Amino acid sequence: MPDLPLSLWYSITNLGGAALTLPLALAIALWLLVGYRTRMAASWLLLLGIAIGLVTATKIAFLGWGVGIRELDFTGVSGHAMLSTAVYPVAFFLMLQRAPNAWRATGIVVGLAIGAAVGLSRIALDAHSPSEAVAGCVIGALTALAFARYWWNEQPAQLSAAVVTLSLAALTVALHDVHVPTHRWITHFALTMSGHGHPFVRARWKAHHEPRRPAAPTSQTRDVPESPLSRHA
């Protein structure tokens, strides 16, 4: 694991926060709608929606019922890793639509690298296990690559690459440090569905000591007091 300052790891992990990546995803859909076709924007939202659904389902399954894989320390797909690995490659794909194919491919690789860095930051900050971060990166990468592969030869109508780039960059800068309590919302939903009073705890679950109804409220990610990281997947 690279020995980076804690503040830098936090800065990297914030690139995958839902408060940033979801608005970026919606902005991408808007530009696709304006510059291409409704079907292209709809396919992007559908693919991303499926990926978000997978992440959410794994988190609810663990928090509400303790469903996971102990051997892999897996309690739910990393939302940060999935969102960043899905959104940033498609953002570069959109910004480089009029560029040569080699530049477009390079942009997608850069986007995937950003997602991988976010996944690594989740491990470094002890917010997710390696299996959870890798699962997030794989699902996100498949989402982005499936979209890019299907629409690779689609040509934009009247779409300024400079305007698209500036708008997405401005959104990234403006929302980089914004946080939303997605983990808290998912936990509440999981407990409502399962009927349990408290979410399952990773450490107790791994030790096979968890009761049928979890004994104490805690963050999904680690058996430690809630931190800002635990409030958003």
**What percent of the chain is helix, strand and coil (3-state, nearest 5)?**
65, 0, 30
Domain range summary for the chain, segments of one domain joined by + = 6-231
pTM of the predicted structure, to 2 decimals: 0.86
Q: What's the pLDDT tens digit per position in 35-66?
A: 888 999 999 999 999 999 999 999 999 999 99
Res 227 pLDDT > 50: no
Residue 80 tokens, joined: 């940060």
How would residue 233 be classed by pLDDT, with cut points 50, 70 and 90? low
How would residue 225 be classed by pLDDT, with cut points 50, 70 and 90? very low
Q: What residue type is 87 in one-letter code?
A: V
